A = this chain, B = another copy of it.
């Protein structure tokens, strides 16, 4: 039904080859002809058929981005970074949401492969998925996002979560806290495990008590409230004076429930979160949090994909690890002087690359 290049050609009284040239290499066709063709295009409302172009070219002009949850600010920021790079390469981003379902992940990957995308950026539900493995085997460039690659046959970009956990707890120790709790779970998530490990690291060299671990079922607000209720129920002598939460949603839930229980943040209990989501700074007591270079993560992942696409088989896979950064706000202010706000300029994120 819609007009094709052929209709344009006959309307303008030229051959299809000439129309194609007007579209792709306008400089090789005489100005008069060019105008005639362009007029016909406008008159007929001609729109190029991308499928035919791709079929002919053998590959598409798009990349796939597969994330666990589009509603998560972490991933929307990553997506934004990816988009910037894709834009610069005249490439479309096909954003897919798995909702942590392996089945949806599989279906999306199949679709992307059928679309012949140039490459796939993915935060996999399960890092050792055979579906991804098979796709790589068929020659599809893949970059792991926010996961460190277990295998050597792909690139990856990630943030050092162990370091992040260490930064958070070091900060609390420096502020004088000796009884510190870790709130997070489930421990099957690599992030939770790593941040917890970092917290232990930080305590190892100090004179603080052992880390009190409050395991949660998920990384959500309600889980945070539940954990805070448990903490508030402890006798004052055994109650921690500071809490490090595995993400900001937990921390917000913790703060809410602590306040409801009559405990003041940071005066009675200091709180540190992780992710530095937009609402962390906007909480009634602005939240100290560990910030990850999210857009940079996305940009780097996209850069790696385009690098691999260009270099082809000569490509050597790289594993980029970024360093997170602690953003200190009121929720961990000194217990003596509750109002010391340092939201100052931040150093550029540092990256260490490991080639394989």
Contacts and interface: CB of A to CB of B under 8 A. Distances in A.
Interface of A: 1-2, 45, 47-55, 58, 60, 70-71, 73, 76-77, 79-80, 83, 92, 94-95, 97, 110-111, 113-116, 134, 137-139, 221, 249, 252-253, 255-256, 259-262, 264, 267, 278-279, 281-286, 338, 341-345, 347-349
Contact of A255 (B97, B284, B286, B342): B284
Contacts of A97: 79-80, 83
21 contacts: A2-B138, A45-B138, A47-B114, A49-B114, A50-B111, A50-B115, A51-B52, A51-B54, A51-B115, A70-B95, A71-B77, A80-B97, A95-B95, A252-B282, A256-B286, A261-B344, A264-B348, A267-B348, A279-B279, A283-B283, A283-B284
B345 A264 contact: yes
Nearest to A279: B279
Contacts of A55: 49, 51-52, 55
A282 B253 contact: yes
B137 A45 contact: yes
- Considering residues A138, A139, A282, A345, which has the most beta carbons from chain B within 10 angstroms of its beta carbon? A282
A49 B58 CA distance: 9
Given A71-B77, A283-B256, A284-B284, A138 B47 contact: yes
